[in-house]
Structure 1
Amino acid sequence: MIYKKFAFFIIILLSLVSSAQTIDLTNTADSLLIKSKPQIQFRAKQLIVPVALITYGIIGIGNDQLESFNNQIKEEVKENIDKKVSIDDFSQYLPLASVYGLSAIGIKGKNNFRDKTIIVATSYLIMGIALNSLKRTFKVERPDGSAFNSFPSGHTATAFMGAELVYQEYKDVSIWYGISGYLVATGTGAFRLYNNRHWLTDVVAGAGIGILSAKAAYWLYPSIKRLLDSKKQTNKKTAFIPYYDGKRVGFGLVSTF
Protein backbone atom coordinates (compact mmCIF):
# COMPACT_ATOMS: atom_id res chain seq x y z
CA MET A 1 0.00 0.00 0.00
CA ILE A 2 2.79 2.40 0.89
CA TYR A 3 4.41 1.87 -2.49
CA LYS A 4 1.17 2.70 -4.27
CA LYS A 5 0.98 6.00 -2.41
CA PHE A 6 4.59 6.79 -3.25
CA ALA A 7 3.87 6.03 -6.90
CA PHE A 8 0.77 8.21 -6.77
CA PHE A 9 2.77 11.05 -5.23
CA ILE A 10 5.47 10.79 -7.90
CA ILE A 11 2.93 10.75 -10.74
CA ILE A 12 1.08 13.80 -9.41
CA LEU A 13 4.25 15.79 -8.75
CA LEU A 14 5.73 14.99 -12.14
CA SER A 15 2.46 15.91 -13.82
CA LEU A 16 2.50 19.32 -12.17
CA VAL A 17 6.12 19.91 -13.08
CA SER A 18 5.53 18.72 -16.64
CA SER A 19 2.81 21.33 -16.93
CA ALA A 20 5.36 23.98 -15.99
CA GLN A 21 7.78 22.70 -18.60
CA THR A 22 5.05 22.75 -21.25
CA ILE A 23 4.38 26.39 -20.43
CA ASP A 24 8.05 27.22 -20.90
CA LEU A 25 8.28 25.19 -24.10
CA THR A 26 5.97 27.65 -25.83
CA ASN A 27 8.96 29.97 -25.94
CA THR A 28 11.65 27.40 -26.69
CA ALA A 29 11.42 27.80 -30.46
CA ASP A 30 11.94 31.52 -30.14
CA SER A 31 14.92 31.01 -27.87
CA LEU A 32 16.49 28.73 -30.48
CA LEU A 33 16.12 31.39 -33.15
CA ILE A 34 17.00 34.44 -31.05
CA LYS A 35 20.37 33.76 -29.50
CA SER A 36 20.78 37.37 -28.40
CA LYS A 37 18.25 36.87 -25.57
CA PRO A 38 19.58 33.91 -23.57
CA GLN A 39 17.90 34.79 -20.27
CA ILE A 40 14.33 33.84 -19.48
CA GLN A 41 11.94 36.69 -18.89
CA PHE A 42 9.30 36.95 -16.19
CA ARG A 43 5.85 35.74 -17.19
CA ALA A 44 3.05 35.45 -14.67
CA LYS A 45 1.99 32.01 -15.94
CA GLN A 46 5.39 30.62 -14.91
CA LEU A 47 4.27 31.16 -11.30
CA ILE A 48 1.30 28.81 -11.57
CA VAL A 49 2.94 25.49 -10.72
CA PRO A 50 5.45 26.57 -8.01
CA VAL A 51 2.88 28.80 -6.29
CA ALA A 52 0.31 25.99 -6.42
CA LEU A 53 2.78 23.59 -4.80
CA ILE A 54 3.72 26.05 -2.06
CA THR A 55 0.07 26.91 -1.43
CA TYR A 56 -0.82 23.24 -1.10
CA GLY A 57 1.88 22.81 1.53
CA ILE A 58 0.83 25.84 3.56
CA ILE A 59 -2.87 24.96 3.42
CA GLY A 60 -2.04 21.42 4.47
CA ILE A 61 -0.67 22.61 7.81
CA GLY A 62 -4.10 23.56 9.08
CA ASN A 63 -6.32 21.37 6.93
CA ASP A 64 -7.78 18.29 8.64
CA GLN A 65 -8.11 16.28 5.44
CA LEU A 66 -4.56 16.92 4.26
CA GLU A 67 -3.16 16.37 7.74
CA SER A 68 -5.03 13.06 7.84
CA PHE A 69 -3.40 12.06 4.55
CA ASN A 70 -0.01 13.06 6.01
CA ASN A 71 -0.63 10.83 9.03
CA GLN A 72 -1.73 7.91 6.87
CA ILE A 73 1.56 8.03 5.01
CA LYS A 74 3.46 8.28 8.30
CA GLU A 75 1.71 5.23 9.76
CA GLU A 76 2.32 3.13 6.68
CA VAL A 77 5.97 4.15 6.64
CA LYS A 78 6.31 2.99 10.25
CA GLU A 79 4.54 -0.29 9.55
CA ASN A 80 6.17 -1.27 6.28
CA ILE A 81 9.69 0.13 6.30
CA ASP A 82 12.34 -1.29 8.61
CA LYS A 83 15.50 0.30 7.24
CA LYS A 84 16.07 3.90 6.24
CA VAL A 85 18.01 4.81 3.10
CA SER A 86 20.22 7.92 3.21
CA ILE A 87 20.46 8.34 -0.56
CA ASP A 88 18.42 11.55 -0.34
CA ASP A 89 21.30 13.24 1.48
CA PHE A 90 23.29 12.90 -1.74
CA SER A 91 20.64 12.89 -4.46
CA GLN A 92 19.51 16.38 -3.47
CA TYR A 93 22.74 17.75 -4.96
CA LEU A 94 22.84 15.67 -8.16
CA PRO A 95 20.76 18.01 -10.35
CA LEU A 96 22.82 21.01 -9.23
CA ALA A 97 26.07 19.14 -9.85
CA SER A 98 24.79 18.39 -13.36
CA VAL A 99 24.63 22.12 -14.12
CA TYR A 100 28.43 22.14 -14.04
CA GLY A 101 29.01 18.48 -14.90
CA LEU A 102 27.37 18.71 -18.31
CA SER A 103 29.55 21.71 -19.17
CA ALA A 104 32.62 19.81 -18.00
CA ILE A 105 31.99 17.05 -20.54
CA GLY A 106 31.56 19.54 -23.38
CA ILE A 107 27.79 20.11 -23.46
CA LYS A 108 27.31 23.85 -23.82
CA GLY A 109 24.53 25.40 -21.79
CA LYS A 110 22.86 28.79 -21.94
CA ASN A 111 25.42 30.62 -19.77
CA ASN A 112 29.15 30.51 -19.14
CA PHE A 113 30.69 29.40 -15.84
CA ARG A 114 30.66 32.87 -14.28
CA ASP A 115 27.05 33.59 -15.18
CA LYS A 116 25.87 30.17 -14.06
CA THR A 117 27.65 30.55 -10.75
CA ILE A 118 26.00 33.90 -10.07
CA ILE A 119 22.60 32.44 -10.96
CA VAL A 120 23.19 29.42 -8.71
CA ALA A 121 24.28 31.66 -5.82
CA THR A 122 21.22 33.86 -6.29
CA SER A 123 18.98 30.78 -6.31
CA TYR A 124 20.54 29.49 -3.11
CA LEU A 125 20.13 32.86 -1.42
CA ILE A 126 16.46 33.12 -2.33
CA MET A 127 15.80 29.52 -1.38
CA GLY A 128 17.67 29.79 1.91
CA ILE A 129 15.76 32.90 2.98
CA ALA A 130 12.43 31.29 2.08
CA LEU A 131 13.18 27.99 3.82
CA ASN A 132 14.50 29.51 7.05
CA SER A 133 11.65 32.01 7.24
CA LEU A 134 8.98 29.34 6.81
CA LYS A 135 10.65 26.86 9.16
CA ARG A 136 10.86 29.48 11.91
CA THR A 137 7.34 30.70 11.28
CA PHE A 138 5.44 27.41 11.22
CA LYS A 139 7.67 25.20 13.44
CA VAL A 140 6.08 21.95 12.24
CA GLU A 141 7.21 18.81 14.02
CA ARG A 142 8.89 16.17 11.89
CA PRO A 143 7.09 12.82 11.47
CA ASP A 144 9.85 11.09 13.46
CA GLY A 145 9.58 13.68 16.26
CA SER A 146 13.22 14.71 15.97
CA ALA A 147 12.71 18.48 15.55
CA PHE A 148 10.21 21.25 14.86
CA ASN A 149 11.58 22.36 11.48
CA SER A 150 9.82 19.96 9.15
CA PHE A 151 8.04 22.47 6.90
CA PRO A 152 9.17 22.87 4.17
CA SER A 153 11.62 20.19 3.03
CA GLY A 154 15.08 21.63 2.42
CA HIS A 155 16.35 18.50 0.67
CA THR A 156 13.45 18.58 -1.77
CA ALA A 157 13.83 22.32 -2.37
CA THR A 158 17.54 21.90 -3.14
CA ALA A 159 16.85 19.05 -5.55
CA PHE A 160 14.09 20.87 -7.43
CA MET A 161 16.08 24.09 -7.56
CA GLY A 162 18.89 22.14 -9.25
CA ALA A 163 16.43 20.45 -11.59
CA GLU A 164 15.01 23.78 -12.73
CA LEU A 165 18.53 25.16 -13.23
CA VAL A 166 19.43 22.16 -15.39
CA TYR A 167 16.24 22.59 -17.37
CA GLN A 168 16.79 26.29 -18.00
CA GLU A 169 20.45 25.86 -18.91
CA TYR A 170 20.11 22.88 -21.24
CA LYS A 171 16.53 22.78 -22.55
CA ASP A 172 17.70 24.21 -25.89
CA VAL A 173 20.15 21.31 -26.20
CA SER A 174 17.75 18.59 -25.06
CA ILE A 175 14.70 18.74 -22.83
CA TRP A 176 15.65 15.31 -21.47
CA TYR A 177 18.39 16.82 -19.33
CA GLY A 178 15.76 18.79 -17.47
CA ILE A 179 13.39 15.84 -17.24
CA SER A 180 16.18 13.69 -15.80
CA GLY A 181 16.87 16.35 -13.20
CA TYR A 182 13.21 16.44 -12.22
CA LEU A 183 13.10 12.64 -11.92
CA VAL A 184 16.02 12.74 -9.48
CA ALA A 185 14.40 15.61 -7.58
CA THR A 186 11.09 13.75 -7.32
CA GLY A 187 12.93 10.66 -6.08
CA THR A 188 14.62 12.80 -3.42
CA GLY A 189 11.23 14.01 -2.21
CA ALA A 190 9.89 10.45 -2.14
CA PHE A 191 12.84 9.30 -0.03
CA ARG A 192 12.18 12.10 2.46
CA LEU A 193 8.79 10.46 2.99
CA TYR A 194 10.30 6.98 2.92
CA ASN A 195 12.75 7.91 5.69
CA ASN A 196 9.95 9.44 7.78
CA ARG A 197 11.70 12.82 7.82
CA HIS A 198 8.96 14.87 6.20
CA TRP A 199 5.24 15.08 5.64
CA LEU A 200 3.85 15.09 2.11
CA THR A 201 2.95 18.78 2.49
CA ASP A 202 6.60 19.56 3.40
CA VAL A 203 7.86 17.84 0.27
CA VAL A 204 5.34 19.42 -2.09
CA ALA A 205 6.02 22.92 -0.72
CA GLY A 206 9.78 22.32 -0.89
CA ALA A 207 9.47 21.41 -4.57
CA GLY A 208 7.61 24.66 -5.25
CA ILE A 209 10.17 26.75 -3.38
CA GLY A 210 13.06 25.14 -5.25
CA ILE A 211 11.50 25.72 -8.67
CA LEU A 212 10.49 29.29 -7.86
CA SER A 213 13.94 30.15 -6.43
CA ALA A 214 15.66 29.05 -9.64
CA LYS A 215 13.20 30.89 -11.86
CA ALA A 216 13.52 34.05 -9.78
CA ALA A 217 17.32 33.91 -10.08
CA TYR A 218 17.05 33.92 -13.88
CA TRP A 219 14.56 36.77 -13.78
CA LEU A 220 16.86 38.82 -11.56
CA TYR A 221 20.11 38.01 -13.32
CA PRO A 222 19.94 40.68 -16.09
CA SER A 223 19.74 43.35 -13.37
CA ILE A 224 22.56 41.74 -11.38
CA LYS A 225 24.68 41.47 -14.53
CA ARG A 226 24.18 45.16 -15.34
CA LEU A 227 25.17 46.08 -11.79
CA LEU A 228 28.33 43.95 -11.92
CA ASP A 229 29.30 45.24 -15.37
CA SER A 230 28.80 48.86 -14.32
CA LYS A 231 31.22 48.35 -11.44
CA LYS A 232 33.78 46.96 -13.86
CA GLN A 233 33.52 50.04 -16.05
CA THR A 234 34.30 52.56 -13.31
CA ASN A 235 37.56 54.51 -13.54
CA LYS A 236 38.55 53.79 -9.99
CA LYS A 237 42.07 52.37 -9.75
CA THR A 238 43.81 51.15 -6.62
CA ALA A 239 47.45 50.16 -6.15
CA PHE A 240 49.74 49.10 -3.31
CA ILE A 241 53.12 50.86 -3.45
CA PRO A 242 56.02 49.66 -1.28
CA TYR A 243 58.17 52.26 0.47
CA TYR A 244 61.30 52.48 2.62
CA ASP A 245 62.26 55.69 4.50
CA GLY A 246 65.58 54.48 5.87
CA LYS A 247 64.07 53.08 9.03
CA ARG A 248 60.79 51.42 8.14
CA VAL A 249 59.54 49.22 5.34
CA GLY A 250 55.86 49.28 4.44
CA PHE A 251 53.20 49.66 1.79
CA GLY A 252 51.14 52.65 0.76
CA LEU A 253 47.64 52.54 -0.69
CA VAL A 254 47.05 54.85 -3.67
CA SER A 255 43.53 55.17 -5.12
CA THR A 256 42.31 57.31 -8.05
CA PHE A 257 38.74 58.14 -8.97
Structure 2
Amino acid sequence: MLKTFLLFVLGISVVQAQEHVTDSIVGVKDTVVQVQKHVADTLMVKDTVHNLKFNYKQLIIPGVLIGYGFIGLESDWLKGFNSQIRDEVKEDIDNKITIDDFSQYAPAASVYALNAMGIKGKNNLKDRSIILATSYLMMSTTVFALKKITHVERPDGTSYNSFPSGHTANAFAGAEFLWQEYKDKSIWYGISGYIVATGTGLFRMYNNRHWLTDVAAGAGIGILSTKAAYWLFPYVKNSIFPSKENKVTSMLMPFYNGKQFGGGMVVQF
Protein backbone atom coordinates (compact mmCIF):
# COMPACT_ATOMS: atom_id res chain seq x y z
CA MET A 1 0.00 0.00 0.00
CA LEU A 2 1.29 3.43 -0.87
CA LYS A 3 2.29 5.67 2.00
CA THR A 4 1.71 9.34 1.40
CA PHE A 5 3.50 12.01 3.32
CA LEU A 6 1.94 15.42 3.08
CA LEU A 7 4.45 18.18 3.72
CA PHE A 8 3.42 21.78 4.00
CA VAL A 9 6.49 23.52 2.59
CA LEU A 10 5.21 26.99 1.82
CA GLY A 11 3.24 29.23 4.17
CA ILE A 12 2.65 32.88 3.43
CA SER A 13 0.38 34.48 6.00
CA VAL A 14 -1.18 37.90 5.81
CA VAL A 15 -2.49 38.88 9.25
CA GLN A 16 -3.57 41.97 11.05
CA ALA A 17 -0.86 43.81 13.00
CA GLN A 18 -2.49 43.23 16.36
CA GLU A 19 -2.64 39.43 15.97
CA HIS A 20 -0.15 37.42 17.97
CA VAL A 21 2.32 35.15 16.18
CA THR A 22 1.03 32.19 18.14
CA ASP A 23 -2.48 32.73 16.80
CA SER A 24 -1.09 32.73 13.25
CA ILE A 25 0.73 29.45 13.80
CA VAL A 26 -2.42 27.79 15.16
CA GLY A 27 -4.36 29.02 12.13
CA VAL A 28 -1.78 27.60 9.74
CA LYS A 29 -1.82 24.23 11.52
CA ASP A 30 -5.60 24.06 11.23
CA THR A 31 -5.33 24.85 7.54
CA VAL A 32 -2.68 22.19 6.99
CA VAL A 33 -4.99 19.55 8.47
CA GLN A 34 -7.78 20.63 6.13
CA VAL A 35 -5.44 20.58 3.11
CA GLN A 36 -4.13 17.15 4.04
CA LYS A 37 -7.60 15.66 4.26
CA HIS A 38 -8.77 17.28 1.04
CA VAL A 39 -5.73 16.24 -0.98
CA ALA A 40 -5.76 12.69 0.35
CA ASP A 41 -9.37 12.35 -0.76
CA THR A 42 -8.65 14.01 -4.11
CA LEU A 43 -5.62 11.94 -5.00
CA MET A 44 -7.24 8.74 -3.71
CA VAL A 45 -3.86 7.46 -2.71
CA LYS A 46 -5.26 4.33 -1.11
CA ASP A 47 -4.17 1.37 -3.20
CA THR A 48 -7.47 -0.26 -4.06
CA VAL A 49 -6.54 -2.04 -7.26
CA HIS A 50 -7.72 -5.62 -7.66
CA ASN A 51 -5.52 -7.36 -10.19
CA LEU A 52 -6.79 -10.05 -12.53
CA LYS A 53 -4.49 -13.04 -12.32
CA PHE A 54 -3.54 -14.66 -15.60
CA ASN A 55 -5.24 -17.94 -16.39
CA TYR A 56 -4.95 -19.57 -19.79
CA LYS A 57 -8.67 -20.43 -19.68
CA GLN A 58 -9.40 -16.72 -19.99
CA LEU A 59 -7.90 -16.85 -23.48
CA ILE A 60 -10.39 -19.40 -24.81
CA ILE A 61 -13.35 -17.17 -25.69
CA PRO A 62 -11.41 -14.23 -27.18
CA GLY A 63 -9.06 -16.70 -28.86
CA VAL A 64 -11.94 -18.51 -30.57
CA LEU A 65 -13.49 -15.24 -31.74
CA ILE A 66 -10.22 -13.87 -33.10
CA GLY A 67 -9.35 -17.21 -34.67
CA TYR A 68 -12.73 -17.38 -36.40
CA GLY A 69 -12.15 -13.92 -37.82
CA PHE A 70 -8.69 -14.72 -39.14
CA ILE A 71 -9.76 -18.04 -40.65
CA GLY A 72 -12.49 -16.13 -42.45
CA LEU A 73 -9.87 -14.08 -44.27
CA GLU A 74 -8.82 -17.15 -46.25
CA SER A 75 -11.70 -19.61 -45.99
CA ASP A 76 -13.93 -19.61 -49.06
CA TRP A 77 -16.67 -21.28 -47.04
CA LEU A 78 -16.67 -18.55 -44.38
CA LYS A 79 -16.50 -15.86 -47.05
CA GLY A 80 -19.57 -17.40 -48.63
CA PHE A 81 -21.28 -17.52 -45.25
CA ASN A 82 -20.44 -13.83 -44.77
CA SER A 83 -22.07 -13.00 -48.09
CA GLN A 84 -25.12 -15.10 -47.28
CA ILE A 85 -25.66 -13.23 -44.02
CA ARG A 86 -25.10 -9.88 -45.76
CA ASP A 87 -27.67 -10.72 -48.43
CA GLU A 88 -30.27 -11.78 -45.88
CA VAL A 89 -29.72 -8.65 -43.82
CA LYS A 90 -29.94 -6.37 -46.87
CA GLU A 91 -33.41 -7.71 -47.65
CA ASP A 92 -34.69 -6.35 -44.34
CA ILE A 93 -32.87 -3.00 -44.35
CA ASP A 94 -35.16 -0.02 -44.80
CA ASN A 95 -33.11 2.67 -43.12
CA LYS A 96 -29.74 2.56 -41.45
CA ILE A 97 -29.73 2.88 -37.68
CA THR A 98 -26.68 4.69 -36.33
CA ILE A 99 -27.15 3.77 -32.68
CA ASP A 100 -23.94 1.72 -32.90
CA ASP A 101 -21.96 4.96 -33.14
CA PHE A 102 -23.02 5.67 -29.56
CA SER A 103 -23.64 2.24 -28.06
CA GLN A 104 -19.98 1.33 -28.51
CA TYR A 105 -19.14 3.65 -25.62
CA ALA A 106 -22.02 2.71 -23.32
CA PRO A 107 -20.48 -0.24 -21.41
CA ALA A 108 -17.34 1.64 -20.38
CA ALA A 109 -19.28 4.81 -19.59
CA SER A 110 -21.57 2.76 -17.34
CA VAL A 111 -18.67 2.04 -14.97
CA TYR A 112 -18.21 5.74 -14.29
CA ALA A 113 -21.95 6.36 -14.14
CA LEU A 114 -22.43 3.61 -11.55
CA ASN A 115 -19.61 4.98 -9.43
CA ALA A 116 -21.10 8.47 -9.67
CA MET A 117 -24.36 7.04 -8.33
CA GLY A 118 -22.54 5.55 -5.35
CA ILE A 119 -22.34 1.97 -6.62
CA LYS A 120 -18.62 1.38 -6.23
CA GLY A 121 -16.69 -1.01 -8.42
CA LYS A 122 -13.47 -2.84 -7.60
CA ASN A 123 -11.03 -0.02 -8.23
CA ASN A 124 -10.78 3.68 -7.54
CA LEU A 125 -11.01 6.38 -10.21
CA LYS A 126 -7.30 6.59 -10.90
CA ASP A 127 -6.68 2.85 -11.11
CA ARG A 128 -9.67 1.98 -13.25
CA SER A 129 -8.91 4.88 -15.59
CA ILE A 130 -5.36 3.61 -16.09
CA ILE A 131 -6.72 0.13 -16.80
CA LEU A 132 -9.27 1.43 -19.32
CA ALA A 133 -6.71 3.65 -21.05
CA THR A 134 -4.31 0.70 -21.33
CA SER A 135 -7.06 -1.46 -22.79
CA TYR A 136 -8.10 1.14 -25.35
CA LEU A 137 -4.49 1.78 -26.34
CA MET A 138 -3.85 -1.90 -27.04
CA MET A 139 -7.22 -2.39 -28.70
CA SER A 140 -7.04 0.64 -30.99
CA THR A 141 -3.43 -0.05 -31.98
CA THR A 142 -4.27 -3.65 -32.87
CA VAL A 143 -7.41 -2.73 -34.81
CA PHE A 144 -5.70 0.06 -36.76
CA ALA A 145 -2.74 -2.15 -37.69
CA LEU A 146 -4.94 -5.04 -38.83
CA LYS A 147 -7.11 -2.76 -40.94
CA LYS A 148 -4.01 -1.55 -42.76
CA ILE A 149 -2.52 -5.01 -43.16
CA THR A 150 -5.57 -7.06 -44.18
CA HIS A 151 -7.12 -4.47 -46.52
CA VAL A 152 -10.54 -6.14 -46.55
CA GLU A 153 -13.34 -4.46 -48.50
CA ARG A 154 -16.43 -3.45 -46.54
CA PRO A 155 -19.75 -5.07 -47.46
CA ASP A 156 -21.04 -1.74 -48.78
CA GLY A 157 -17.92 -1.30 -50.92
CA THR A 158 -17.04 2.12 -49.50
CA SER A 159 -13.51 1.31 -48.30
CA TYR A 160 -10.94 -1.39 -47.67
CA ASN A 161 -10.63 -1.28 -43.89
CA SER A 162 -13.36 -3.67 -42.85
CA PHE A 163 -11.35 -6.15 -40.76
CA PRO A 164 -11.73 -6.08 -37.80
CA SER A 165 -14.69 -4.04 -36.58
CA GLY A 166 -13.43 -1.13 -34.47
CA HIS A 167 -16.89 -0.30 -33.12
CA THR A 168 -17.31 -3.87 -31.92
CA ALA A 169 -13.84 -4.01 -30.41
CA ASN A 170 -14.54 -0.79 -28.55
CA ALA A 171 -17.87 -2.06 -27.25
CA PHE A 172 -16.53 -5.43 -26.06
CA ALA A 173 -13.50 -3.83 -24.42
CA GLY A 174 -15.93 -1.73 -22.42
CA ALA A 175 -18.17 -4.71 -21.68
CA GLU A 176 -15.27 -6.70 -20.25
CA PHE A 177 -14.24 -3.62 -18.24
CA LEU A 178 -17.76 -3.40 -16.80
CA TRP A 179 -17.73 -7.12 -16.05
CA GLN A 180 -14.42 -7.02 -14.23
CA GLU A 181 -15.37 -4.01 -12.12
CA TYR A 182 -18.84 -5.19 -11.10
CA LYS A 183 -19.06 -8.97 -11.38
CA ASP A 184 -18.65 -9.27 -7.61
CA LYS A 185 -21.53 -6.83 -7.05
CA SER A 186 -23.89 -8.48 -9.52
CA ILE A 187 -23.26 -10.44 -12.69
CA TRP A 188 -26.13 -8.57 -14.33
CA TYR A 189 -24.03 -5.44 -14.70
CA GLY A 190 -21.55 -7.33 -16.84
CA ILE A 191 -24.23 -9.25 -18.70
CA SER A 192 -26.00 -6.03 -19.63
CA GLY A 193 -22.71 -4.65 -20.93
CA TYR A 194 -22.19 -7.70 -23.12
CA ILE A 195 -25.75 -7.44 -24.43
CA VAL A 196 -25.10 -3.85 -25.51
CA ALA A 197 -21.77 -4.85 -27.06
CA THR A 198 -23.40 -7.71 -28.97
CA GLY A 199 -26.08 -5.34 -30.20
CA THR A 200 -23.37 -2.97 -31.41
CA GLY A 201 -21.82 -5.76 -33.47
CA LEU A 202 -25.18 -6.78 -34.92
CA PHE A 203 -25.93 -3.21 -35.95
CA ARG A 204 -22.56 -3.02 -37.71
CA MET A 205 -23.75 -5.88 -39.89
CA TYR A 206 -27.28 -4.51 -40.18
CA ASN A 207 -25.90 -1.22 -41.45
CA ASN A 208 -23.85 -3.17 -44.02
CA ARG A 209 -20.56 -1.89 -42.61
CA HIS A 210 -19.01 -5.19 -41.54
CA TRP A 211 -18.92 -8.90 -42.22
CA LEU A 212 -19.60 -11.43 -39.49
CA THR A 213 -15.90 -12.32 -39.33
CA ASP A 214 -15.04 -8.63 -38.79
CA VAL A 215 -17.42 -8.45 -35.86
CA ALA A 216 -16.21 -11.71 -34.31
CA ALA A 217 -12.56 -10.67 -34.48
CA GLY A 218 -13.36 -7.21 -33.11
CA ALA A 219 -15.19 -8.73 -30.16
CA GLY A 220 -12.28 -11.02 -29.36
CA ILE A 221 -9.74 -8.21 -29.61
CA GLY A 222 -11.81 -6.00 -27.32
CA ILE A 223 -12.21 -8.67 -24.65
CA LEU A 224 -8.56 -9.70 -24.78
CA SER A 225 -7.34 -6.09 -24.62
CA THR A 226 -9.18 -5.44 -21.38
CA LYS A 227 -8.09 -8.71 -19.82
CA ALA A 228 -4.50 -7.90 -20.76
CA ALA A 229 -4.88 -4.42 -19.28
CA TYR A 230 -5.77 -5.97 -15.91
CA TRP A 231 -2.90 -8.45 -16.14
CA LEU A 232 -0.41 -5.71 -16.98
CA PHE A 233 -1.73 -3.11 -14.56
CA PRO A 234 0.91 -3.60 -11.80
CA TYR A 235 3.68 -2.99 -14.35
CA VAL A 236 1.92 -0.08 -16.03
CA LYS A 237 1.20 1.55 -12.69
CA ASN A 238 4.80 1.20 -11.54
CA SER A 239 6.06 2.80 -14.73
CA ILE A 240 3.70 5.76 -14.42
CA PHE A 241 3.90 6.00 -10.63
CA PRO A 242 7.37 4.71 -9.70
CA SER A 243 8.20 3.08 -6.39
CA LYS A 244 8.58 5.32 -3.35
CA GLU A 245 12.36 5.38 -3.73
CA ASN A 246 12.03 7.20 -7.06
CA LYS A 247 8.61 8.79 -6.92
CA VAL A 248 8.20 12.41 -6.00
CA THR A 249 5.05 14.19 -7.11
CA SER A 250 3.72 17.47 -5.86
CA MET A 251 0.70 19.73 -5.95
CA LEU A 252 0.65 23.46 -5.25
CA MET A 253 -2.53 25.06 -3.95
CA PRO A 254 -3.60 28.29 -2.25
CA PHE A 255 -5.51 28.44 1.03
CA TYR A 256 -7.66 30.89 2.96
CA ASN A 257 -9.03 30.17 6.43
CA GLY A 258 -11.04 33.34 6.95
CA LYS A 259 -8.15 35.35 8.34
CA GLN A 260 -5.10 34.27 6.43
CA PHE A 261 -4.05 33.83 2.85
CA GLY A 262 -1.27 31.51 1.86
CA GLY A 263 0.03 28.79 -0.39
CA GLY A 264 0.59 25.13 0.24
CA MET A 265 2.51 22.42 -1.53
CA VAL A 266 1.70 18.74 -1.13
CA VAL A 267 4.61 16.41 -1.76
CA GLN A 268 3.84 12.73 -2.38
CA PHE A 269 6.71 10.26 -2.48
The one of 207, 211, 234 aligned to 1:222: 234
2:213 equivalent in structure 1: 201
Q: 1: CA distance between counterparts of 2:221 and 2:247?
A: 40
Q: Residue deviations 1:19-63, cap 9 Å, x none? A: xxxxxxxxxxxxxxxx98821111111111101100100101111
1:40 equivalent in structure 2: 52
1:125-136 residue pairs with structure 2 within 5 A?
125-136=137-148
Relative to 1, partners in 2 of residues 1:119 and 1:99: Cα closer, same or farther, differing over 3 Å? same
What's the offset of the Cα at 1:232? 5.8
CA contact (8 A) 2:49 2:124 kept: no
1:154-233 residue pairs with structure 2 within 5 A?
154-230=166-242, 233=245
Unmatched runs of 5 consecutive residues or more in structure 2: 1-46, 251-269
Question: What is the TM-score when the length of structure 2 is the normalising length?
Answer: 0.72
Q: Could you say what secondary structure the match of 1:136 adopts?
A: helix
1:71-82 residue pairs with structure 2 within 5 A?
71-82=83-94
The one of 131, 134, 138 aligned to 1:119: 131
Q: Residue deviations 1:200-244, cap 9 Å, x none? A: 000000000000000000000011222333266437689xxxxxx
CA contact (8 A) 2:179 2:189 kept: yes
Q: Could you say what secondary structure the match of 1:122 adopts?
A: helix
Q: 2: CA distance between counterparts of 1:142 and 1:227?
A: 39
2:121 equivalent in structure 1: 109
Q: 1: CA distance between counterparts of 2:101 and 2:215?
A: 14
Structure with max Cα Rg: 2
Q: 1: CA distance between counterparts of 2:147 and 2:247?
A: 45
Q: Residue deviations 1:134-183, cap 9 Å, x none? A: 11110000000010000000000000000000000011111110000000
Q: Could you say what secondary structure the match of 1:38 adopts?
A: coil
2:159 equivalent in structure 1: 147
Amino acid at match of 1:59: I
Structure 1's consecutive aligned runs of 4 or more residues displaced over 3 angstroms after TM superposition are: 235-238
What's the offset of the Cα at 1:77? 2.2
Taking only the aligned residue pairs, the percentage that are identical comes to 62
Q: 2: CA distance between counterparts of 1:175 and 1:46?
A: 17
Q: 1: CA distance between counterparts of 2:146 and 2:185?
A: 36
Relative to 1, partners in 2 of residues 1:141 and 1:237: Cα closer, same or farther, differing over 3 Å? closer
Relative to 1, partners in 2 of residues 1:163 and 1:229: Cα closer, same or farther, differing over 3 Å? same
2:28 equivalent in structure 1: none
Amino acid at match of 1:176: W
Higher helix share: 1
Question: What is the TM-score when the length of structure 1 is the normalising length?
Answer: 0.76
Amino acid at match of 1:203: V
1:84 equivalent in structure 2: 96
Q: 1: CA distance between counterparts of 2:130 and 2:48?
A: 19
Q: 2: CA distance between counterparts of 1:176 and 1:237?
A: 39
Unmatched runs of 5 consecutive residues or more in structure 1: 1-34, 239-257
